C-alpha cells in the first residue's frame, strides 16, 4: 500500500496535460515537482503590479506589506530596483493607481528615507526627460505622483516647479493668442493641484489659491479653435458639451478651494494605515523631508509628437432624469475622466486589460462615490438622496465615448475604441449593455445636431458593435421615425447603419433581425449577389454593343478586339447628337467590367488591371467620360454602395480617377439639389478621397522635414510640397464652393425645386446638411494647413548644404527618403 | 500610447505562441540557422486570418480589416482541389503599424458572427493560399469532432469515418 502511495511521486507527472517536445527528450527522467517558493522579487513585483486591483483585499495592507518587505530587504539590490522601476512604470501606464503607489512609496520613505529618495530621484530623472521631449501627458502623471509625495519635500515642495511651468505658459500665451502649448501647461498645473492638496501634507492652501488665481485668465479665455472641435455645431449648441476641459476644471478647482479641498472623489489610502506593532493610526504627514528633485524647464518649452487641440467635455449621460455620472459642475467629472482617458489611451496595446480596468473603476476610487456594479438604472431612481452615487459602468463607458467622439481625431484609430467597448461588453454584459443602450439613445437623439463627422463615427461604431453581438437592437423604438422624409438625419442614420450592417454580414441575415416596419428598407436589389447587367434588356441604348463588350471582357480579349465596339457606340452616339460620345462608350465598358468582376473584389480588380490602359486614356481624353466611370460604378452597385466605394478607391490608386474627379462627380454632377449630402455613403467616399490626399500630403511633409535632408534633394521635395499643397487647397476650395450655395439655399437646382420659395419642409433640412458638411471640411482644411505650417516651422531651410562631416558619414542618407520628390500614390 | 520599453501588462501585438512554437521546433532541426524567426516579423505587413466561415466574402473581410488601414492585398485561402474558400485568408497592409493595430483591435473580435484569429505573418508566398489538409481544406477541418456549420460540418476525415462506421453497422446486421 505504501508503494502504491508513493508511485505518483517517483514518475514524472503531467499526464498529457502538456505536450512534450523533443527538447524534453535529453532529460527523460524529470525531477519531481517541488513546492515552488516564489522569490521575493517576483512576489513584490506581482503585489505591486496588482496593487488595488482586488476588492477582496484591503489595499492598505498591501501598501504597508510591500513597503515593509522592500525596506526589510534593503540590501537586495534587485528588489530595490524592481520596486523603484515598477512604481514609476505604474505611474506612467496605470494612472488610476497613482495615489496607491505614492502611498506605498511614502510608507517606504517613512521607514527608510534612502529608499524613498531613490524612487523620488528616479521620478525626477524621468520628469526631466519628458519635460525635455515635450511628452506632456507623462509630465502630468509624474507631477501627480510627486504631488501626492508632497509631505516628503522640504519647503514648498512641488510649487516652485509649477510656478516655473506657469511662467512658460504665460510667455507662450503672450506671444500668440492661438497658442495651445501654454494652455496644455496650465492644464497640467491644474490637474496637479488637487493631488497636492489631497496629499497628507497640509498648509499649502495659500500657494494653491495663489496659483489658481493666476491661471484663471488663461484657463477661462475661450480658445479660438474651441468651436472647431466642439461636439455640436455653433447653431445647435447644447448643454452636454461646449465647455472646454480647462475652463471647466478651473471653475471646479475654485469651488473646491472654497470648500477647503474636500476632494471627496479621490482615494486617501494613507487615512487607514495602522502601525504594525502598536496598532496606532500611522500618519504620513511627518515623514523625513528631502529636497524636491532638481528639474530644469527649457526655455522655451517644446511640444512632443502629439499635435495639441483644445478639448471639450462631452458626456453621453448628461441629459438623464437621474444623474449616473458626475455633473460638469462637480470636480469628479474632470478627475475621473482624466484618469480613465489616460488609462484608455496608454494601454491601447491590450484592450482586454484596459476593459478590465474600466470595469474595475470602483476599486480605484473611494467606495462611497459609486453604487454597486450593474445596479439597474431604474433602481437608481429609487435611491434616497443621501445614497445617491454614480454608476461605475456609465462613468467608464462615458470616457470611451469621449475619445471615440474626440475632434479632430482621437489618439488611436477609431477601431480601438470600438474593440474596447466590445471587450467591456464581453466581460460584463449585464452591466455594460444597458449603459451602451442609453448612450445609443442619447446619440441617436443628437444625430441632427451633432457634428457630421461624429454622427458618421457613431453610425460606424453602432453597426460594428452590433456585428459582434448578433445584430440585436431594439429597432422597434425608432419605428415612428420611419415616417420622416428620406433626407432627415434620423432616416439617413437608419439607412446608413443598416447598409453598414449588411456590409459586415449579408442582407438576408440583417433583414431577419428587423421588425416588420423596417423590412421594406432592405430592397430586393440588396439581397442579390450579382446586380443585373442593364445591357441585357433590349430597351437599354447600345444593348447589343454592351453585351458584346461584356463577353469580350469575360473572355479576357485584347484591347484591339474591344476597340471596334467602342467606336461603334461612339459613332451611334454622335449620330444621335450626344454631346460627348465617350460617355456612353465608357458606360458600356465600365458597367461590363463591374458585371464581369461582380463575383468578388479580386475579380473586379483583375478586370480593371487588364483594361487599365484604356481606362487611363479615358480620363486623359475627356473629363466627362472620367466622371462617367464613377457614375457607372455607383449605378451598377447602387444597392451595395460599400462595394462601389471600394472600387472607386482602387480606381484612385490606379490614378484612373483623380481625387478632384470624385469630388466633381459627387458635388457637382450628382448634387441633386443638395439631397446627395444626406447620403452617408457619399460622406464616406468624399472623406476617404480627401483622406487619401491628406495622407499623401503628410508623407511628403515627413520626407521634407527629415533632419538629415540637404540640397539638392531639399529643393526638389520643397517644390513637390508646394505643388501638392496648393492642389490640396484647391480640393478643399472646390468642396467649399460646391456646398456653400447649398447651405445658403442658393444652389440652382435647389431654387428650382417645388415653387422655388425654398420653403418646402425638406429645404431647411438640406440647408442644414450643407452647413454641417461645410463645418467638417473647413475643419479638415484648417487642421491640415496648421499641421503643415507647424511642421515646416522647424524644418531645415531650403538651400542648406550638408555639413562636410555629415556628408562623408552618410552619403546616401537623403537618397532613400523619396528624394526624387515623387511618391507613388498607390503606395501612399 | 505608452512610452515604456517594458509594459506593465502584456501586449496583444506580439507573434502568437503558435508562430513562435512552430519556428522553434523547426530551428531545433536546422541548428545552423542563425536568424531568430521573430526577426522576420519585425517589419511584417501581412496577417494570417483564421477561423473564418467558408461563406465569408472578400468584401466582408475588407469592410472589417480596412478599419485598421488601407489594405494592399487580400488573398483568400482556398481548398486545394475545388478552389473554394476554406476559412482563412491573408491580409496585407501598406505599413507594419497597421498590421500591429489589426492584431490589437481586430484579432479576437467577430466577423460574420465568428471570433476570428489574426497572427502576424512573414508574408504571402504563392502556394500558401491553399489548404494543407488531406482533402484540400485546412488541417484543422479534417479531424474536428464538433459540428461547425460555417466550416463544412464535421471534420472531413472524421465525418468519413463516422459514415463508414454507420454503413458497416448496417451491413453487420
In tens, the pLDDT along A126-172 reads: 999 999 999 999 999 999 999 999 999 999 999 999 999 999 999 99
Task: State how far residue A311 is from chain B, nearest Cα, in angstroms.
Answer: 18
Report yes or no on B36 lying in a domain: no
Of A22, A468, A504, the CB nearest to B63: A504
Check: CB of residue A266 under 8 Å from CB of residue A99. Answer: yes
Cβ contacts of A260-264, under 8 Å, gap ≥ 24: A260/A205, A261/A194, A261/A197, A261/A198, A261/A205, A261/A208, A263/A194, A263/A197, A263/A198, A263/A331, A264/A332, A264/A366, A264/A368, A264/A369
Q: Where are the beta strands (DSSP E) in A319-441?
A: none
Could you give the CA distance from residue A42 to residue A36 in angstroms, rounded to a whole number?
Answer: 12
Bridge partner list, B49: B89, B118
User: In whole angstroms, how far apart are CA A450 and each of A413, A432, A457, A493, A496?
Assistant: 20, 24, 11, 12, 16
Bridge partner list, B148: B153
Q: Do A503 and B63 touch (CB under 8 A)?
A: yes
Write out A255-307 in H/E/C secondary structure.
Answer: HHHHCCCCCCCCCCHHHHCECCCCCCECCCCCCCCECCCCCCCCCCCCCCCCC
Of A418, A470, A642, the CB nearest to B59: A642
Of A351, A413, A467, the CB nearest to B110: A467
Residue of B nearest to A51 (CA): B8
Q: What letter does residue A487 receive in the DSSP assignment?
A: T
Q: Do A646 and B104 touch (CB under 8 A)?
A: no
Residue A755 has a pLDDT of 62
Write the DSSP assignment of A703-733 as a string of letters: HHT-TT--TTHHHHHHHHHHHHHHHHHHHHH
Residue B26 has a pLDDT of 57
Check: CB of residue B1 under 8 Å from CB of residue A345. Answer: yes
CA atoms within 13 A on the CB side of B156: 15
Task: State how far residue A297 is from chain B, nearest Cα, in angstroms.
Answer: 20
Residue of A nearest to B4 (CA): A89
Q: What letter does residue A667 receive in the DSSP assignment?
A: I
Check: CB of residue A91 under 8 Å from CB of residue A104. Answer: no
Q: Do B62 and A601 touch (CB under 8 A)?
A: yes
Residue B34 has a pLDDT of 55
Query: Measured between CB atoms, does B160 come within 8 Å of chain A?
Result: no
Check: CB of residue A619 under 8 Å from CB of residue A657. Answer: yes
Residue A9 has a pLDDT of 42
Report yes or no on B151 lying in a domain: yes
Query: What was the ipTM of the complex prediction?
Result: 0.92
SS3 A450: strand
Q: What letter does residue A239 receive in the DSSP assignment?
A: T
Element (H, E) at B85: strand B85-93
Burial class (CB in 10 A: 0-12, 13-18, 19+), A174: exposed
User: In whole angstroms, how far apart are CA A7 and each of A11, A13, A14, A529?
Assistant: 7, 10, 14, 65
Check: CB of residue A211 under 8 Å from CB of residue A163. Answer: yes
**What pLDDT digit, counting tens, does each position of A458-507 carry?**
999 999 999 999 999 999 999 999 999 999 999 999 999 999 999 999 99
Tell me the angle at which helices A414-427 and A392-404 cross, rounded to the nearest 10 degrees: 160
Check: CB of residue A459 under 8 Å from CB of residue A405. Answer: no
B48-79 as b/e, with b when 16 or more CB fall inside 10 Å?
bbbbbbbebbbbbbbbbbbbbbbbbebbbbbb
Query: Measured between CB atoms, does B43 come within 8 Å of chain A?
Result: no
Report yes or no on B18 lying in a domain: no
Residue A797 has a pLDDT of 84
Q: Do B112 and A348 touch (CB under 8 A)?
A: no
- Radius of gyration (C-alpha) of chain B in whole angstroms: 19
Report yes or no on B142 lying in a domain: yes
Q: Which pTM value belongs to this model? A: 0.92
Residues A717, A720, A723, A726, CA torsion sign: negative
Bridge partner list, A274: A281
Instruction: List, in order of start, the domains of chain A with CATH numbers.
Output: 40-272 (1.25.40.180), 331-527 (1.25.40.180), 529-657 (1.25.40.180), 674-828 (no CATH)
Question: Residues with Cβ < 8 Å from A811, sequence gap 6 or more?
Answer: none
User: In whole angstroms, how far apart are CA A386 and each of A194, A256, A325, A371, B154?
Assistant: 25, 20, 16, 12, 59
What is the count of structural domains for chain B?
Answer: 1
Of A49, A138, A506, the CB nearest to B8: A49
Task: State how far residue B79 is from chain A, nearest Cα, in angstroms.
Answer: 17
Could you give the CA distance from residue A505 to residue B115 in angstroms, rounded to a whole number?
Answer: 14
Could you give the CA distance from residue A771 to residue A634 in angstroms, rounded to a whole number?
Answer: 25
* CB contacts, 8 Å: A19 with chain B: none
Burial class (CB in 10 A: 0-12, 13-18, 19+), A387: exposed
- Radius of gyration (C-alpha) of chain A in whole angstroms: 32
Assess whether pLDDT exceeds 90 at residue B3.
Answer: no
Which of A127, A531, A601 should we substitute to test contact with B (largest number of B Cβ atoms within 10 Å)? A601
Question: Residues with Cβ < 8 Å from A613, sequence gap 6 or more?
Answer: A559
Could you give the CA distance from residue A439 to residue A318 in angstroms, rounded to a whole number?
Answer: 10
Residue among A609, A688, A680, A607 at smallest CA distance from A648: A688
Could you give the CA distance from residue A635 to residue A456 in angstroms, rounded to a whole number?
Answer: 23
* CB contacts, 8 Å: A86 with chain B: 8
Bridge partner list, A232: A450
For residue A469, report the phi and psi dihedrals to the nearest 5 degrees.
Answer: -130, 45
Residue A709 has a pLDDT of 83
Could you give the CA distance from residue A273 to residue A269 in angstroms, rounded to a whole number?
Answer: 7
Check: CB of residue A98 under 8 Å from CB of residue A141. Answer: yes
Check: CB of residue A511 under 8 Å from CB of residue A519. Answer: yes
SS3 A215: helix
CA atoms within 13 A on the CB side of A813: 17
Report yes or no on B62 lying in a domain: yes
Q: Do B112 and A21 touch (CB under 8 A)?
A: no
Q: Do B105 and A419 touch (CB under 8 A)?
A: yes
For residue B29, report the phi and psi dihedrals to the nearest 5 degrees.
Answer: -75, -45
Residue B25 has a pLDDT of 57
* CB contacts, 8 Å: A600 with chain B: 57-59, 76
Residue of B nearest to A130 (CA): B3
Could you give the CA distance from residue A429 to residue B34 in angstroms, rounded to a whole number?
Answer: 48
Residue A11 has a pLDDT of 44
Query: Which residue numbers in chain A have pLDDT < 70?
Result: 1-35, 235-242, 750-759, 805-828
B20: confidence class by pLDDT, cuts 50, 70, 90: confident
Residue of A nearest to B93 (CA): A827
Residues A21, A27, A30, A31, CA torsion sign: negative
Q: Do B2 and A346 touch (CB under 8 A)?
A: yes
Q: Do A468 and B28 touch (CB under 8 A)?
A: no
CATH number for the domain including B50?
3.30.70.330
Q: What letter does residue A175 receive in the DSSP assignment?
A: H
Check: CB of residue A628 under 8 Å from CB of residue A586. Answer: yes
* CB contacts, 8 Å: B112 with chain A: 504-505
Could you give the CA distance from residue A653 to residue A784 in angstroms, rounded to a whole number?
Answer: 21
Q: Do B7 and A419 touch (CB under 8 A)?
A: no
Q: What letter does residue A232 receive in the DSSP assignment?
A: B
Check: CB of residue A338 under 8 Å from CB of residue A191. Answer: yes
Query: What residues make up the domain containing B98?
Result: 43-123+131-172
Report yes or no on B23 lying in a domain: no
* Phi-psi map region of A473: left, alpha, beta (phi>0 left; psi -120 to 50 alpha): beta
B5: confidence class by pLDDT, cuts 50, 70, 90: confident
Could you give the CA distance from residue A469 to residue A513 in angstroms, rounded to a whole number?
Answer: 12
Q: What letter does residue A56 receive in the DSSP assignment?
A: T
Query: Measured between CB atoms, does B71 come within 8 Å of chain A?
Result: no
Amino acid at each position: 500500500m505504501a508503494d502504491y502511495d508513493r508511485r505518483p511521486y517517483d514518475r514524472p507527472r503531467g499526464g498529457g496535460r502538456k505536450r512534450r517536445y523533443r527538447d524534453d527528450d535529453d532529460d527523460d527522467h524529470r525531477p519531481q515537482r517541488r513546492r515552488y517558493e516564489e522569490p521575493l522579487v517576483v512576489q513584490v513585483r506581482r503585489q505591486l503590479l496588482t496593487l488595488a486591483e482586488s476588492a477582496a483585499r484591503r489595499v492598505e495592507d498591501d501598501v504597508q506589506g510591500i513597503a515593509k518587505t522592500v525596506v526589510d530587504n534593503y540590501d537586495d539590490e534587485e528588489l530595490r530596483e524592481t520596486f523603484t522601476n515598477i512604481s514609476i512604470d505604474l505611474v506612467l501606464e496605470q494612472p488610476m493607481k497613482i495615489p496607491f503607489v505614492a502611498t506605498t512609496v511614502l510608507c517606504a520613505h517613512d521607514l527608510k528615507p534612502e529608499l524613498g529618495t531613490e524612487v523620488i530621484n528616479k521620478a525626477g530623472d524621468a520628469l526631466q526627460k519628458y519635460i525635455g521631449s515635450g511628452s506632456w501627458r507623462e509630465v502630468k502623471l509624474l507631477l501627480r505622483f510627486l504631488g501626492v509625495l508632497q509631505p516628503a519635500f522640504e519647503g514648498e515642495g512641488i510649487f516652485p516647479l509649477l510656478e516655473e511651468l506657469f511662467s512658460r505658459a504665460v510667455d507662450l500665451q503672450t506671444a500668440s493668442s492661438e497658442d495651445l502649448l501654454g494652455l496644455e501647461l496650465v492644464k497640467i498645473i491644474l490637474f496637479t493641484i488637487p493631488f497636492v492638496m489631497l496629499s497628507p501634507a497640509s498648509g499649502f492652501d495659500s500657494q494653491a489659491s495663489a496659483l489658481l488665481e493666476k491661471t484663471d485668465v488663461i484657463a477661462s479665455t475661450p480658445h479660438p479653435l474651441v468651436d472647431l472641435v466642439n461636439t455640436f455645431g455653433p447653431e445647435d449648441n447644447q448643454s452636454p458639451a461646449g465647455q472646454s476641459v480647462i475652463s471647466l476644471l478651473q471653475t471646479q478647482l475654485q469651488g473646491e478651494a472654497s470648500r477647503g479641498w474636500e476632494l471627496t472623489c479621490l482615494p486617501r489610502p494613507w487615512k487607514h494605515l495602522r502601525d504594525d506593532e502598536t496598532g496606532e493610526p500611522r500618519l504620513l504627514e511627518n515623514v523625513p523631508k528631502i529636497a524636491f528633485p532638481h528639474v530644469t524647464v527649457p526655455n522655451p518649452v517644446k511640444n512632443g509628437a502629439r499635435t495639441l487641440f483644445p478639448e471639450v467635455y462631452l458626456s453621453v449621460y448628461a441629459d438623464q432624469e437621474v444623474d449616473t455620472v458626475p455633473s460638469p459642475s462637480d470636480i469628479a467629472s474632470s478627475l475621473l475622466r482624466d484618469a480613465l482617458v489616460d488609462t484608455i489611451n496608454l494601454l491601447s496595446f491590450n484592450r482586454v486589460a484596459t476593459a478590465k480596468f474600466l470595469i474595475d473603476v470602483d476599486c480605484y476610487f473611494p467606495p462611497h462615490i459609486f453604487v454597486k456594479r450593474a445596479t439597474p438604472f431604474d433602481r437608481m431612481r429609487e435611491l434616497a438622496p443621501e445614497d445617491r452615487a454614480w454608476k461605475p459602468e456609465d462613468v467608464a463607458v462615458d470616457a470611451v465615448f469621449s475619445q471615440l467622439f474626440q475632434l479632430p481625431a482621437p489618439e488611436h484609430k477609431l477601431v480601438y475604441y470600438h474593440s474596447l467597448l466590445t471587450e467591456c461588453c464581453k466581460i460584463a454584459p449585464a452591466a455594460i449593455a444597458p449603459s451602451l443602450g442609453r448612450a445609443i439613445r442619447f446619440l441617436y437623439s443628437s444625430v441632427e445636431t451633432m457634428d457630421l463627422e461624429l454622427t458618421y463615427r457613431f453610425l460606424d461604431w453602432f453597426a460594428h458593435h452590433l456585428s459582434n453581438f448578433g445584430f440585436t437592437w431594439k429597432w422597434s423604438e425608432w419605428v415612428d421615425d420611419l415616417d420622416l422624409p428620406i433626407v432627415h438625419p434620423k432616416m439617413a442614420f437608419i439607412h446608413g447603419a443598416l447598409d453598414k450592417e449588411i456590409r459586415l454580414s449579408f442582407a438576408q441575415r440583417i433583414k431577419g433581425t428587423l421588425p416588420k416596419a423596417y423590412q421594406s428598407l432592405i430592397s430586393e436589389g440588396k439581397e442579390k449577389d450579382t446586380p443585373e447587367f442593364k445591357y441585357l434588356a433590349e430597351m437599354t441604348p447600345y444593348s447589343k454593343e454592351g453585351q458584346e463588350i461584356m463577353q469580350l471582357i469575360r473572355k479576357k480579349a485584347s484591347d484591339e478586339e474591344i476597340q471596334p465596339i467602342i467606336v461603334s457606340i461612339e459613332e451611334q452616339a454622335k449620330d444621335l447628337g450626344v454631346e460627348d460620345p465617350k460617355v456612353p462608350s465608357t458606360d458600356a465598358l465600365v458597367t461590363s467590367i463591374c458585371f464581369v468582376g461582380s463575383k468578388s473584389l479580386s475579380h473586379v480588380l483583375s478586370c480593371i488591371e487588364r483594361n487599365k490602359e484604356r481606362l487611363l486614356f479615358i480620363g486623359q481624353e475627356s473629363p466627362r467620360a472620367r466622371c462617367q466611370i464613377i457614375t457607372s460604378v455607383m449605378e451598377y452597385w447602387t444597392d451595395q454602395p460599400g462595394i462601389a466605394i471600394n472600387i472607386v478607391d482602387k480606381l484612385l490608386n490606379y490614378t484612373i480617377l483623380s481625387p478632384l474627379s470624385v469630388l466633381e462627380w459627387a458635388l457637382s454632377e450628382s448634387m441633386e439639389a443638395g439631397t446627395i449630402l444626406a447620403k452617408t455613403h457619399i460622406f464616406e467616399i468624399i472623406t476617404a478621397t480627401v483622406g487619401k490626399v491628406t495622407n499623401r500630403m503628410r508623407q511628403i511633409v515627413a520626407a521634407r522635414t527629415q533632419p538629415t535632408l540637404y540640397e539638392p534633394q531639399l529643393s526638389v521635395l520643397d517644390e513637390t510640397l508646394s505643388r501638392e499643397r496648393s492642389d490640396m487647397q484647391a480640393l478643399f476650395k472646390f468642396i467649399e464652393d460646391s456646398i456653400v450655395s447649398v447651405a445658403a439655399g442658393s444652389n440652382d437646382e435647389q431654387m428650382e425645386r417645388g415653387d422655388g420659395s425654398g420653403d418646402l419642409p425638406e429645404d431647411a433640412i438640406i440647408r442644414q446638411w450643407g452647413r454641417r458638411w461645410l463645418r467638417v471640411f473647413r475643419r479638415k482644411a484648417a487642421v491640415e494647413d496648421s499641421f503643415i505650417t507647424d511642421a515646416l516651422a522647424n524644418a531645415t531651410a531650403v538651400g542648406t548644404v550638408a555639413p562636410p562631416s555629415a556628408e562623408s558619414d552618410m552619403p546616401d542618407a537623403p537618397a532613400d527618403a523619396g528624394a526624387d520628390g515623387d511618391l507613388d500614390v498607390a503606395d501612399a | 500610447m505608452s512610452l515604456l520599453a517594458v509594459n506593465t501588462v502584456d501586449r496583444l501585438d506580439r507573434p502568437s505562441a503558435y508562430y513562435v512554437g512552430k519556428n522553434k521546433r523547426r530551428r531545433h532541426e536546422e541548428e545552423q540557422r542563425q536568424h531568430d524567426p521573430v526577426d522576420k516579423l519585425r517589419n511584417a505587413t501581412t496577417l494570417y486570418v483564421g477561423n473564418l466561415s467558408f461563406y465569408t466574402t472578400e468584401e466582408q473581410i475588407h469592410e472589417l480589416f480596412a478599419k485598421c488601414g488601407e489594405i494592399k492585398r487580400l488573398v483568400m485561402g482556398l481548398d486545394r482541389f475545388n478552389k473554394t474558400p476554406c476559412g482563412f485568408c491573408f491580409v496585407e497592409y501598406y505599413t507594419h503599424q497597421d498590421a500591429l493595430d489589426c492584431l490589437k483591435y481586430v484579432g479576437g473580435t467577430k466577423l460574420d458572427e465568428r471570433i476570428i484569429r489574426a497572427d502576424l505573418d512573414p508574408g504571402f508566398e504563392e502556394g500558401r493560399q491553399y489548404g494543407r489538409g488531406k482533402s484540400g481544406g485546412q488541417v484543422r477541418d479534417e479531424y474536428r469532432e464538433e459540428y461547425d456549420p460555417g466550416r463544412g460540418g464535421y471534420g472531413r476525415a472524421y465525418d468519413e469515418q463516422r459514415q463508414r462506421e454507420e454503413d458497416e453497422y448496417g451491413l453487420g446486421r
